[in-house]
Amino acid sequence: MRIEDVAFCTTVWDTVPATEHKGETGTAIWRTLETGNVRVRMVEYTPGYRAIIGAAAAMPSSFSPASW
């Protein structure tokens, strides 16, 4: 992966437009910031959120950030 043309910055997430994504039992609220060739997403989940379809459901149980 090459991160190019991305200046250091801080993000005030409350100023980034939010989009809602419904799950079986709640909602995920995504705030997505794209700069250069990088996309950063901050996700908030309502209590009890369970996605209908999502990448996490397709990952093996042995998957963890330590295995990246």
pTM: 0.64
CB 2 within 8 A of CB 37: yes
Mind listing the pLDDT tens digit for each residue in 8-31? Answer: 889 999 999 999 999 888 899 999
Evaluate whether residue 5 is within a structural domain. yes
pLDDT at 6: 83
Evaluate whether residue 67 is within a structural domain. no
Number of domains in the chain: 1
Q: At residue 65, does pLDDT exceed 90?
A: no
- Domain extent at residue 31: 1-55
Mind listing the pLDDT tens digit for each residue in 45-54? Answer: 988 887 765 5
Q: Which residue has the tokens 């992966």?
A: 1
pLDDT at 21: 92
